């Protein structure tokens, strides 16, 4: 379970999150929607531990761990996964080696046995097939020369292999055509279960037709200003963010 | 900087030389050396690489038998020629059965023009031994190791490699040692028509050693000289590569990776002459610099007037792991033909924080993530090494280097 209380944070002295309160129980998928500049990406980076973001108050815990005290790799080993809005290219790093290094680093951190290359490749091939990805994607350098859609699929592939307990999807729908959107959503839905929760950050309701959330939160000016069911997403799609922003102004 | 200690050292070399037997080549070299001495930073080609440290070199013969280092020679499962402090060591060598290799009195190769280089002149004055490797036309000589073990003093081995038409050889050159040795090898390659030389160098001299190597390659029509240097060792190191693409369709690859830490200084200097049409040269040079290390890359591509359709490319990339590391780069193109494709590029940076975060966000600890990014950076240069055992040996040494940097 993810529990965020009164979280304030910013970057370069500018406060962006103005007191976030949010609970995502195990097994639930929550969506965070909001206009540009409302703090959606900042929230995902603060939760995953990116340098340069300063937490000025509040707390964030995950399954009893104080997230904000942990380096990014420890958060990952504890089960947190961030699907990047802009996946990073790693020239010279082979995708399969990268995935195996990540999986085994997490397993080591949790005191589990590492996977050998044969067992890993079997796992990776199966996951690749499920996501309708070309096999050569494992042999290529991480995200180098990938199309926008391939990069997003590669994020979901990593998630499928690392099997996090909490996934934060930061605008995973941006740059995806409708077929890719469907495949990526199926990849996320396949993870759903009592031990998996997700925070789906998006600007548009479209993604939420495929990944149906248990709850929808509206983020504006660094605060959650409304919470509702999936119907809230459709309401926003019709009325836009202006009405919500007017309410809280 | 005072050049007095260098002058004093040059004087010591001159005195030592006076006691030697006369030889026309040596005499010419000595005449040259007496006039020019050792290069100071005022000599343009040596501007970034002062030789002041050379003044600390003891010329006296070392006490330890270099055989004590033989166990450190990587086992690549191929024949090897081993030199210890500049002398051939038959007891440590396993020469190839089917290849003409002569050791003993040096084969001079590039004289007299080579003597314009200070260190070649010095080598010519003192070289006592060297390997002369001759591969007959149409022969694939496989892989051969050329090893130098140093325990101190000054060594000036002089090697010559000649390939007949359509012959092939992979030469794995390895230099390793202990203590404050000065190693000043000269190697000349004559690559016959359609022949291929793969020259892979692992330089892991001791942390106090000075390694100044000069390599000449003359590449005939349709022939290829393909070289890769991995520099890990030495307090002060420089490798000068003089490559002449003499025939149409000749090709040269001069790739290097220098991984330095502490106060190490290493210089990779290349001079590629396109003397004939349709020749290709490729250079990928990577410097990874930690601590107070200083890397130097100087690369000149000279395209002569008749060398039309030349295709020359030079890429230099530096990764600075500390704010006190320094990389000096001096690329140069001199083009006298009008229909050529020639370019160079330089990129110097630090580890990308975005890439580092991406790896860490997947659970990879920071140290391992940094190591992955450094390996990825060098990988492109290593990818060209086809002989798997030497590549594996280099990967292993790189791993050890990285751990040493983490610990320091």
Query: Would you state the pLDDT for residue B2?
Result: 64
The reply to whether ipTM tops 0.90 is: yes
- The pLDDT of residue B110 is 79
Residue B288: strand pairing partners: B259, B319
- Separation CA A152–CA B180 (nearest Å): 55
**Do the Cβ atoms of B362 and A158 come within 8 Å?**
yes
Query: Is the pLDDT score of B192 beyond 80?
Result: yes
* Pairwise CB contact (< 8 Å): B360 & A87: no
Region A155-168 average pLDDT = 96
Distances (CA, A) of A183 to A56, A66, A97: 39, 34, 24
pLDDT at residue B339, rounded to an integer: 95
- Chain B contacts in chain A segment 40-99 (CB below 8 A): 48-51, 71-73, 75-77, 81-82, 84, 87-88, 90-93, 98
In chain A, the percentage of residues whose pLDDT exceeds 70 is: 99
B109 is a domain residue: yes
pLDDT of residue B57: 77
Q: What is the pLDDT of residue A179?
A: 85
Range of the domain at A103: 2-248
Q: Cβ separation of A98 and B362 shorter than 8 Å?
A: yes
Q: Is the pLDDT of residue B115 over 80?
A: yes
> If you average pLDDT over residues A12-29, what whole number do you get?
95
B354 pLDDT above the threshold of 60: yes
Going by C-alpha positions, the residue among A142, A160, A143 that lies closest to residue A81 is: A160
Per-residue confidence at A205, pLDDT binned at 50, 70, 90? confident
Q: How big is chain A by its Cα radius of gyration, in Å?
A: 18
A160/chain B closest Cα distance in angstroms: 12
Give the residue, B350 or A203, on which the prediction is more confident. Answer: B350
Q: B151 lies in a domain?
A: yes
Is residue A107 very low, low, confident or very high in pLDDT (cuts 50, 70, 90)?
very high
Candidate from B353, B354, B360 with C-beta closest to A73: B360
In a domain, residue B361? The reply is no
Q: Which residues of B touch A71 (CB under 8 A)?
A: 360, 366
Q: Which residues of B touch A (CB under 8 A)?
A: 353-355, 357-366, 368-369, 372-373, 375-377, 379-380
Residue of A nearest to B355 (CA): A88
Note down the domain range covering B269.
4-350
Nearest chain A residue to B375 by CA distance is A92
Question: CATH number, domain at A16?
Answer: 3.40.50.300
Task: Decide if B376 is inside a domain.
Answer: no
Does the residue B235 lie in any domain? yes
Nearest of B171, B207, B181 to residue B63 by alpha carbon: B181
Q: What is the number of domains present in chain B?
A: 1
Q: Give per-residue pLDDT as tens, A221-240.
A: 999 999 999 999 988 888 88
Indicate which of B352, B355, B362 best probes the interface with A, i.e. most A CBs within 10 Å of its own CB: B362
CB-nearest partner of B363 from A51, A84, A106: A106
pLDDT value at B158 more than 80: yes
Q: In the predicted model, what is the mean pLDDT of residues A162-168?
A: 97
Chain B: nearest CA to A54, how far in angstroms? Answer: 16
Rounded to whole angstroms, what are the CA distances from B57 to B20, B33, B149? Answer: 20, 18, 17
A37: helix, coil or strand?
coil
Question: For position B226, what pLDDT does the model report?
Answer: 97
The rounded mean pLDDT for chain A is 92
Distances in whole angstroms, Cα of residue A187 to Cα of each of A132, A133, B119: 10, 12, 64
Nearest 10 degrees: Cα torsion A219, A220, A226, A228: -40
Q: Considering its fold, how many domains does chain A have in total?
A: 1
Of the candidates B305, B229, B239, B304, the one whose C-alpha atom is nearest the C-alpha of residue B266 is B239
Looking up tokens 């022969």, which residue turns up? B139
Using a CB-CB cut-off of 8 Å, the residues of chain A touching B370 are: none
Q: Chain A closest CA to B271's CA: distance in Å?
A: 28
The arithmetic mean of pLDDT across residues A200-212, rounded, is 91
In the predicted structure, residue B114 carries a pLDDT above the cut 70: yes
Asked whether B135 and B99 are in contact (CB, 8 A), the reply is: yes
**Is residue B111 pLDDT above 90, yes or no?**
no
Instruction: For residue A84, give how far its alpha carbon lies from the nearest alpha carbon of chain B (Å).
Output: 9
pLDDT averaged over chain B?
93
Q: What is the pLDDT of residue A28?
A: 97
Q: Which range among B55-64, B271-280, B321-330 shows the weakest confidence by mean pLDDT?
A: B55-64
Q: Is the pLDDT of residue B182 over 60?
A: yes
Q: Has residue B252 been placed in a domain?
A: yes
Compare CB distances from B357 to A51, A81, A106 and report the shortest one's residue: A51
A120 in contact with chain B, both atoms CB, cutoff 8 A: no
Nearest to B362 among A71, A92, A102 (CB): A102
Report the chain B residue with the minimal C-alpha distance to residue A162. B362
Least confident of B63-77, B177-191, B356-370, B373-387: B373-387
| Of the partner residues B355, B363, B366, the one whose CB lies closest to the CB of residue A76 | B363
* DSSP structure string for A80-148: EEEE-SSPPPEEEEEHHHHHHHHHHHHHHHTTPPPPPHHHHHHHHHHHHHHTT--GGGGTSEETTT--H
More confident residue, B187 or B5: B187
Other CB atoms closer than 10 Å to residue B383's CB: what's the count?
13
Domain-embedded: residue B120: yes
What is the arithmetic mean of pLDDT over A194-219?
A: 93
Banded pLDDT at B112 (limits 50, 70, 90) = confident
Chain A neighbors of B357, CB-CB under 8 A: 50-51, 72, 88
B316 to each of B78, B273, B299, B343, how far by Cα in Å?
Answer: 32, 18, 9, 11
Q: Which of A33-37, A122-126, B150-154 bottoms out in mean pLDDT, i.e. has the lowest?
A: A33-37
B3 pLDDT more than 90: no
**Hey, are the CB atoms on B353 and A98 less than 8 Å from each other?**
no
Q: What is the pLDDT of residue A249?
A: 59
Instruction: Give how far A76 is from chain B: nearest CA, Å.
Output: 5
Contact criterion met (CB below 8 Å) for B54 and B6: yes
């Amino acid at each position: 379970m993810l529990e965020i209380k009164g979280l304030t944070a910013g970057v370069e002295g500018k406060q962006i999150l103005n007191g976030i309160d949010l609970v995502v129980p195990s097994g639930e998928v929550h969506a965070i929607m909001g206009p540009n500049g409302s703090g959606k990406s900042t929230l995902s980076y603060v939760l995953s531990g990116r340098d340069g973001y300063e937490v000025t108050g509040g707390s964030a815990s995950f399954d009893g761990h104080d997230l904000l005290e942990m380096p990014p790799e420890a958060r990952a080993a504890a089960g947190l996964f961030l699907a990047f809005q802009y996946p990073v290219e790693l020239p010279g790093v082979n995708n399969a080696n990268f995935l195996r290094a990540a999986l085994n680093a997490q397993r080591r951190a949790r005191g589990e046995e590492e996977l050998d290359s044969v067992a890993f490749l079997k796992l990776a091939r199966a996951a690749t097939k499920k996501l309708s990805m070309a096999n050569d994607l494992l042999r290529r350098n991480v995200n180098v020369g990938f199309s926008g859609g391939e990069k997003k699929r590669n994020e979901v592939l990593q998630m499928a292999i690392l099997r996090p307990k909490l996934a934060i999807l930061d605008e995973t729908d941006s740059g995806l055509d409708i077929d890719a959107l469907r495949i990526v959503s199926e990849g996320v839905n396949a993870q759903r279960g009592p031990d998996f929760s997700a925070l789906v950050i998006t600007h548009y309701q479209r993604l939420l037709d495929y990944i149906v959330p248990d709850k929808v939160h509206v983020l504006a000016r660094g605060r959650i200003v409304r919470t509702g069911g999936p119907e809230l997403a459709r309401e926003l799609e019709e009325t836009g963010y202006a009405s919500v922003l007017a309410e809280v102004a | 900087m005072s050049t007095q200690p260098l002058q004093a050292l040059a004087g010591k070399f001159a005195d030592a030389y006076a006691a030697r037997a006369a030889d026309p080549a040596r005499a010419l070299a000595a005449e040259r050396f007496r006039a020019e001495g050792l290069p100071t930073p005022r000599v343009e080609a040596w501007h970034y690489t002062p030789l002041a440290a050379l003044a600390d070199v003891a010329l006296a013969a070392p006490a330890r038998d270099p055989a004590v280092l033989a166990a450190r020679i990587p086992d690549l499962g191929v024949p090897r020629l081993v030199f210890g402090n500049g002398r051939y060591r038959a007891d440590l060598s396993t020469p190839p059965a089917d290849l003409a290799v002569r050791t003993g009195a040096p084969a001079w190769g590039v004289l007299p023009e080579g003597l314009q280089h200070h260190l070649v002149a010095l080598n010519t004055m003192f070289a006592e031994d060297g390997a002369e490797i001759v591969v007959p036309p149409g022969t694939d000589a496989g892989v051969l190791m050329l090893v130098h073990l140093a325990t101190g003093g000054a060594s000036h081995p002089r090697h010559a490699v000649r390939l007949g038409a359509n012959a092939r050889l992979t030469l794995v050159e390895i230099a390793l040692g202990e203590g404050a040795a000065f190693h000043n090898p000269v190697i000349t390659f004559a690559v016959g028509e359609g022949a291929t030389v793969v020259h892979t160098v692992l330089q892991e001299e001791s942390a106090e050693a000075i390694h100044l190597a000069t390599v000449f390659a003359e590449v005939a029509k349709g022939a290829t000289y393909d070289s890769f240097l991995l520099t890990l060792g030495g307090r002060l190191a420089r490798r000068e590569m003089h490559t002449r693409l003499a025939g149409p369709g000749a090709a040269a690859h001069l790739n290097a990776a220098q991984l330095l830490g502490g106060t190490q200084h290493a210089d990779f200097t290349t001079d590629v002459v396109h003397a004939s049409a349709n020749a290709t040269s490729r250079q990928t040079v990577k410097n990874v610099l930690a601590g107070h290390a200083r890397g130097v890359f100087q690369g000149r591509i000279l395209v002569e007037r008749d060398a039309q359709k030349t295709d020359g490319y030079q890429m230099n990339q530096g990764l600075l792991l500390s704010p006190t590391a320094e990389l000096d780069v001096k690329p140069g193109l001199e083009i006298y033909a009008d229909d050529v494709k020639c370019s160079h590029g330089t990129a110097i940076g630090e580890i990308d924080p975005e890439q580092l975060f991406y790896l860490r966000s997947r659970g990879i600890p920071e140290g391992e993530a940094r190591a992955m990014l450094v390996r990825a950076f060098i990988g492109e240069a290593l990818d060209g090494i086809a002989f798997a055992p030497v590549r594996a040996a280099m990967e292993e040494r790189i791993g050890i280097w990285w751990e040493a940097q983490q610990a320091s």
